[in-house]
A and B are shown apart, each in its own frame.
Chain A
Amino acid sequence: MIEVRQLRKRFGDQQVLDGVDLTIEKGESLVIIGRSGGGKSVLLKHLVGLTHPDSGQVLVDGRDISHLNERELLAVRRKFGMLFQSAALFDSLTVEENIAFVLARERNHPPQEIARRVAEALEMVEMPGIQKRKPAELSGGMRKRVGLARAIIYRPEVVFYDEPTTGLDPVVSDSIDKLVVRVCERLKVTSIVITHDMRSMQAVGRRVAMLHLGRIYTSGTPAEMMASTDPVVSRFVRGISDEKVHTF
């Protein structure tokens, strides 16, 4: 469904992506792991068409989206839903208006249908009855759930998650992981999760790809990654820093 070929991106002197090759099949649940600042979010933005690469291709259903203009990309993005790291809810709108954003903009859905689908989406993320609240009144976990409801209400084919558990306590993180799995199973969507949370990786991933030095270093099941004897993978999944290298 999504194929990345030799993707390269440089910001100033830093080569963030240096020839990424990756194939994501329909219905797959893929987790991309890697060090902070290693280019995971940049890769995700390329997959959604938010950033244009210096070279390489991103093929969605066989069509290269890397050089489409913003208006052409809008139609492609209709297949995608995305949960941002900060949830990125629109401050000026209520929860209901945030979730119904796409449906309301399409102008061909009656208000009753929109209200019903918003209520369904909120049920799915276990946050019923908060339609009239403003994003500023929600906690971090609640914002992520509302962000996810907004991303799935129009039934996308692929849902992208950018660090869905970052900044949340372990209990809320676990509930978000379970929610990601449930959304994937119930809606039969392809899930692509960016994370450096190993617990989250094991909970939501069926396949894991590790981004290291701007390339996909290795991939496998979560169990294979946890049991890996490769020093780079092993140190990362166990959270052991290399003392010779500054990690911050």
Chain B
Amino acid sequence: MTELPAKVMQSLLAGLGRFSLMVAEVLRSLTTQRLSGRDLTSQLYYIGVKSQTVVLVTGAFTGMVLCAQTYFQFHKVKMDSATLAVVSVSMCGELGPVLTALMVAGRVGASMAAELGTMRVTEQIDALRTLATHPIDYIVVPRVVATMIAVPLLTAESIAVGIFAAYLVGVHLLQIDPGYSLVNMQRFTDHRDVLMGFIKSFIFGGIIATTGCYKGMHCGQGAEGVGHATTEAVVYASIAILMSNFFLTLLLTRLLALI
């Protein structure tokens, strides 16, 4: 009876150990190896530029629906002009970073796991090793660095578009007073909210890339193995983003209060 939980625990701990070793190797590579500008640029293009559409659409519609829902509640207590302030604070500190990271995890994390998984099952990763190239240096580090740069930038875009879309809905559709709204938005949105969103999205970028690369590099054999790795990369990254978001909110609120 106790054999199954023991096996699951053993497998979980082994996985965590392998993941930690990979992250340690990434950090070692970052401090000792030269990162190829060409590899980084091509990853930045794929992860950052190509993800813009999905991130912008997500940001815009999130801002719009958040504005509408907030307005419907605030209108009952005659607080219409606080609507955009709520949208702004929520988008900067929570919804912008989290939703952007979840969308990037779905698009980029899955793609990394599938690409690296295919490289593994077709012996391309072994071929790299025989060509005196460490797979972490060539495959993982450019992806991790590019994702950690791209996700904060995508988050900034998503927040800006979300607030702008909310403004359009609030002012032109729901007839909220634009002057009071903008003043309230500036009054309640602190630089700490922006900084919190930036720090979170930087960490989420690291989670997405390391999870996607880890799952790809340790995937099972054949098409089934690649399929499982792709699914697990998205699921694990999404769960890790949502869980870490809670703890980051508590931690960063305390830390940023000191500034």
Whether the pair B134, A70 counts as a contact (CB closer than 8 A) is yes
Q: Does A172 contact B (CB under 8 A)?
A: no
Q: Does B172 contact A (CB under 8 A)?
A: no
Residues of B contacting A70 with CB < 8 Å?
25, 129, 134
Whether the pair B124, A81 counts as a contact (CB closer than 8 A) is no
A33 to B34 alpha-carbon distance, docked (Å): 42
Residues of A contacting B34 with CB < 8 Å?
107
Q: Does A150 contact B (CB under 8 A)?
A: yes
Stretch of A55-63, A71-79, A191-199 with 4 or more beta carbons under 8 angstroms from chain B: A71-79
Which of A82, A85, A86 is in CB contact (< 8 Å) with B130?
A: A82
Which residue in chain B gives the minimum CB-CB distance to A85?
B123
A197 to chain B, nearest CB (A): 19
Which residue in chain B gives the minimum CB-CB distance to A147?
B127
A188 to B123 alpha-carbon distance, docked (Å): 27
A151 to B131 alpha-carbon distance, docked (Å): 8
Q: Does B10 contact A (CB under 8 A)?
A: no
Q: Does B250 contact A (CB under 8 A)?
A: no
A88 to B133 alpha-carbon distance, docked (Å): 14
Q: Does B132 contact A (CB under 8 A)?
A: yes
Residues of A contacting B118 with CB < 8 Å?
91
A136 to B34 alpha-carbon distance, docked (Å): 30
Contact flags (1/0) for B126-158 with A, using CB distance below 8 Å? 110111111000100000000000000000000
Q: Does B122 contact A (CB under 8 A)?
A: yes
A71 to B119 alpha-carbon distance, docked (Å): 20
A167 to B119 alpha-carbon distance, docked (Å): 20
Q: Does A105 contact B (CB under 8 A)?
A: yes
A90 to B138 alpha-carbon distance, docked (Å): 12
Q: Given contact pairs A78-B132, A86-B123, A90-B124, enumerate 15 new A-B contacts (beta carbons under 8 Å).
A: A45-B126, A50-B129, A50-B130, A70-B134, A74-B134, A85-B123, A88-B123, A90-B119, A91-B124, A102-B131, A102-B132, A105-B132, A105-B133, A105-B138, A107-B34
Q: Write 25 A-B pairs (CB below 8 A) sorted by A numbering.
A: A45-B126, A48-B130, A50-B126, A70-B25, A70-B129, A70-B134, A73-B129, A75-B132, A77-B131, A78-B132, A80-B130, A82-B127, A84-B126, A85-B123, A86-B122, A88-B124, A89-B124, A90-B127, A91-B122, A102-B132, A105-B132, A105-B138, A107-B34, A150-B131, A151-B130
Which B residues fall within an 8 A CB radius of A?
25, 34, 118-119, 122-124, 126-127, 129-134, 138
Which A residues fall within an 8 A CB radius of B?
45, 48, 50, 70-71, 73-75, 77-78, 80-82, 84-86, 88-91, 101-102, 105, 107, 150-151
10 residue pairs, one from A and one from B, having the closest CB atoms: A88-B127, A88-B123, A82-B130, A78-B132, A74-B132, A77-B132, A84-B123, A102-B131, A88-B124, A50-B126
